[in-house]
Each structure stands twice: as C-alpha cells, then as structure tokens.
Amino acid sequence: MTVTEKLNGREVYDAIGQPKTIVAPMVDQSELAWRVLSRRYGADLCYTPMFHARLFANEEKYRNSMWSSMDGDKEKDRPLVVQFCANDPEMLLKAAKLVEDRCDAIDLNLGCPQGIAKKGKYGAFLMEDWDLIYKLINILHENLKIPVTAKIRIYEDKEKSLEYAKMVLKAGAQFLTVHGRTRDMKGQATGLANWKVIKYLRDELPKDQVFFANGNILYPEDLERCTAETTCDAVMSAEGNLYNPGVFWTKDNDKDKQFARVDKMLREYFEIVKSCDGVASRHAMKAHFFKLLHAFLNVHKELRPVIGKTSVNSDFSEWEKIVVEVEGIVEKIYQQDNIEEIDVIEVGGVEKWGGSYKTVPYWRCQPYFRTVDGEKQNTRSLKVAGESELIEASSSVSTSEKHKISEPLEEIETNKRVKA
Ligand SMILES: Cc1cc2nc3c(=O)[nH]c(=O)nc-3n(C[C@H](O)[C@H](O)[C@H](O)COP(=O)(O)O)c2cc1C
C-alpha cells in the first residue's frame, strides 16, 4: 500500500466513530483490562501503554508480557492506538509491523520526561533531535497500512511549539495530541497544562487536522470545557481516568457512573481482569487497586498493607478476599439511616483555573490531587506551562468532616515503574 492509498487522518477518525474521549497511554496502566473497563464508562478510544520498540520487536518474552491474543481484538478492544517509544526508525517499523493488523494507528511517544527516557534517548528527550523525530514518524507513514500519530509536549515558547507541531505533521503524523505541559513539568512540578497554547496550536494548524487535547481533566464537565476552550476533536485523560474511570461518563449525571461506589467499580474491574488473556492486566492490578481505592484507603488504612503484600502473581482468590472486604465495608455504609444525607457530591465555586472542585464521599471513586511539599497542589499557586504568571488556586476544596477529603497515596504504594 502506498501513502496515497492510505486513509488520511480525518478519514480514519471518521471510520473509528469520531471519538470524543480518550484513555491516554499510561505505562503499566492503560493495559487491556483497564481499557475494557474505561470503554464501559464512556471512553471512545484507548491508547496502549508505551511499549519499548526494540524489545517489542526482538524479544518474544517482553512482547508476550505486553501484548496478548485479546489485545486489539475487534470486538473487545477497538478502536485502539498502540504506542511505542523508539530512537531507531527501522526498529520502530519492525515493532509496528507486528501489530498493524490489530490496531487503528501507531503512536510515537514524544512525551516521556523521566530520567530513564533521557538515558535511553526517547520520549520527550527526542525534542532536541527533530531530524530523528521526522525519520521515526516518516518511516511509519511511508510503510504502514494504518496511520501514525504523535503525542507532543509543548515548549515554553509557543512559536517553537508550533514549529515543532508542524514538523511532526509534515513527517506524516495524522492525529496530533497536545499535552499542554512542558518537559520539565513532572512530579512535584507538574502544574497546570496550558489550554491557551493548545488552542493556539489548534488555530494555527490546518483546520482538518485531527487534534486531541490532553491535561487538567478532573471531572466529566472538564471534558466539555476543554473541548469548548481548545476546539479540539477529542480530549485525552490519564490521571483523571486512572483514579476514576467515570471521568468519561458524560451521557447523564448519574453519580453511580460518574463517581461509582468503589466496591462496585472494584468488583467490575476485578471480573474483567480475570477474563483477560496475558499477564499485563494481572501485573497492573495492584496499582489499579490502590488508585481506585485511594480515598477509601485513607479512611480504611488497615487495608493498605493487605493490598501491599498481595503479590501480582498471587492466586485470584487472594485478590477476591480484598474485593469482598471492600464490598462488606461499603455495604455497611449503605445500611446507615442517614445514607441519603451523606451520600452527596458537593460542588465548590468556580476556581481561577476554570473548573470547580467537588467533594465526593470517600466510598466513591474520585480524582487525585497531587501534593507539593506535603500540601495539596490545589491549595497553592500553580505554574501554568509556558506562562510566567502563577495561578493562585484557592483552597475551596471542602474539608468537610462528612466526606474527609482524601490524602493521596504515596507513589511508593502504587507503582514505582516509569511514568511517561
Ligand atoms: C501512570 C502514568 C503513566 C504514563 N505513561 C505514559 C506513556 O506510556 N506514554 C505517554 O505518552 N504518556 C504517558 N503518561 C502521560 C499521560 O499520557 C498524559 O500525557 C499526562 O499524564 C497528562 O495527562 P493528565 O493531566 O490527564 O494526567 C503517563 C501518565 C501517568 C500518570
């Protein structure tokens, strides 16, 4: 197939149903089981975790640990974009060829800001080598039946970001995702993604460019706000989705979908894991348990070490015990006489960043607020990518005793592997 016979980005976007909500690529976290769950809660399109192209192409053991016979299944796992990190065009092509019949596009990781990416020269550290980025994208564009896509971070300078985006598109990328943070914005310095820069890129690039925005999604309403402010085709979420798959539920305001009870969500997720082939879904389970339960574990601390010491290779019966315990605790909460009074979601005032924080009962899935020097990030000034002014975030998240706002779990309790 030649490039001219390939569907262009817009045609592919239409062919996969014009997705509006996207599960971001997340190392060890956007694996098959999680994608199945997220699709049930409104995700229209999913990205795989980043796979290492060289290992995927050359090492069967690695490949089998990342990719099973069910991944990319037409009925269960589509539409799907498979993401690779790479710095060798031939190797990237070799890896991509192995999955091109089992996904809708291949994405090149240009966003990983971690030390391991610096050492291996991939992810966001390719931002210093535009020639190589061009070659990596172009070889896929020229040789695959399906489109190549790219997810970029921005530079401090928006003009440079635009030149960068243009180069990526010229190389052949057909969907562009813009994560509105710079490479330095990670960990404690994560700060706010800059939707204005995303909108600027959107306006300056060709109108028919398939364009996705990424960053700052905490609640379902933020998806609509982001779409309106950036005029993107679709919105991608990583952390928002990870802590609450209901973040993509926009059909109605059903709180059992948007902020599902943790016992119900955990059970649903666990049953999906059991039905999935391969080891990736199983390996990701511990981190997902911690994240889905993060607010709940803040109150029921006794469960933390139980999850902590349960091995990802433990028999499912060990994990079942944890699920049953959570179900028992939440069932008791719902037997309280005043449950209708306390099972409510409070909406705060509009914040300077444009959205509103919500106070959600700890027995329901809810977003995670990053801590900076031990303080919730939303209680202090926030750096916005590419802007010198800080946003003074008010501390209007209610600390109502009724709901006991959760302290986020330490990273150590979730997973220590690389975040891209
Ligand atoms: C646990 C985790 C793993 C991630 N892994 C990847 C990855 O494999 N590839 C990638 O391009 N970005 C990765 N990211 C970045 C996200 O895709 C996303 O760009 C970033 O988190 C910003 O989106 P958010 O504000 O919705 O979290 C990861 C993020 C998290 C939280």
DSSP states along 350-409: EPTTSSEEEE--TTB------EETTEEGGGSEEEBTT-SSEEE----S---TTT-PPPPP
* Rounded average pLDDT over 22-29: 96
In a domain, residue 293? The reply is no
Ligand 1 mean position, distance from CA 95 (Å): 21
Separation of CA 419 and ligand 1 centre (Å): 7
Kindly state the percentage of the chain with pLDDT values over 70.
Answer: 86
For ligand 1, atom 21, which residue shows the shortest CA distance?
238
Candidate from 30-44, 165-179, 309-323, 403-417 with smallest mean pLDDT = 403-417
Catalytic center residues: 112
Nearest CA to ligand 1 atom 4: 26
CA 169 vs CA 82, 162, 206: distances in Å: 18, 11, 10
> Is 361 inside any structural domain?
no
Q: What is the per-residue pLDDT across 58-84, written as a single tens digit (0 to 9) for each?
A: 999 999 999 999 999 999 999 999 999
Could you list the residue range(s) of the whole structural domain that residue 57 is in?
3-254
Query: What pairing do the DSSP bridges indicate for beta strands 371-372 and 375-376?
Result: antiparallel
Instruction: Give the ligand 1 atom nearest the CA of 85.
Output: 9
Is residue 162 pLDDT above 50, yes or no? yes
**How many structural domains is the chain composed of?**
1
Q: What angle do CA 95, 99, 100 make, to 5 degrees?
A: 105
178 found inside a domain? yes
Residue environment code for 218-249, b if the CB has 16+ CB neighbours within 10 A, otherwise e: bbbbbbebbbeebebbbbbbbbbbbbbbbbbb
Residue nearest to atom 18 of ligand 1 (CA): 238
395 CA to centre of ligand 1 in angstroms = 26
pLDDT in tens, 86-120: 999 999 999 999 999 999 999 999 987 888 878 88
Q: Does residue 215 contact residue 181 with C-beta atoms inside 8 Å?
A: yes
> What CATH number is given to the structural domain containing 87?
3.20.20.70
- Going from the Cα of 25 to the center of ligand 1, the distance in angstroms, rounded, reads 6
Nearest-atom index, ligand 1, CA of 193: 25
| Residue 333 Cα to ligand 1 middle (Å) | 34
CA 118 vs. chain centroid, Å, equals 21
Task: Find the 186 Cα to ligand 1 centroid distance in Å.
Answer: 10
- Stretch among 25-29, 52-56, 188-192 having the lowest mean pLDDT: 188-192
Read off φ and ψ for residue 4, nearest 5 degrees: -70, -25
Which residue's alpha carbon is nearest to atom 22 within ligand 1? Answer: 215
Average pLDDT in the 400-409 region?
A: 34
Identify which of 22, 27, 177, 417 to mutate to test ligand 1's pocket (most ligand atoms within 8 A of the CB): 27
- Closest ligand 1 atom to residue 241 Cα is 26
**247 occurs within a structural domain:** yes
Does residue 355 belong to any structural domain of this protein? no
Q: How confident is the model at residue 228 (pLDDT cuts 50, 70, 90)?
A: very high
> Which candidate, 147, 150, 55, 49, places its Cα nearest to that of 104?
147
Closest residue CA from atom 3 of ligand 1:
26
Nearest residue (by CA) to ligand 1, atom 5, is 26
Mutation pick for ligand 1 pocket among 226, 383, 419 (CB with most ligand atoms within 8 Å): 419
More confident residue, 273 or 182: 273
Residues within 6 Å of ligand 1 by CB: 24-27, 29, 49-50, 83, 109, 111-112, 151, 179, 214-217, 237-240, 419-420
- pLDDT-derived band at 379 (thresholds 50, 70, 90) equals very low
Q: How far is the CA of 273 from the centre of ligand 1 (A)?
A: 21
Pocket test for ligand 1, best of 23, 26, 114, 182 (most atoms within 8 A of CB): 26
pLDDT over 60 at 402, yes or no: no
261, part of any domain: no
pTM as predicted? 0.91
> Is residue 135 situated within a structural domain?
yes
Whether residue 376 lies inside any domain: the answer is: no
Q: What is the rounded CA–CA span in Å between residue 218 and residue 265? A: 18
Q: Please tell me the residue having the least CA distance from ligand 1 atom 16.
A: 238
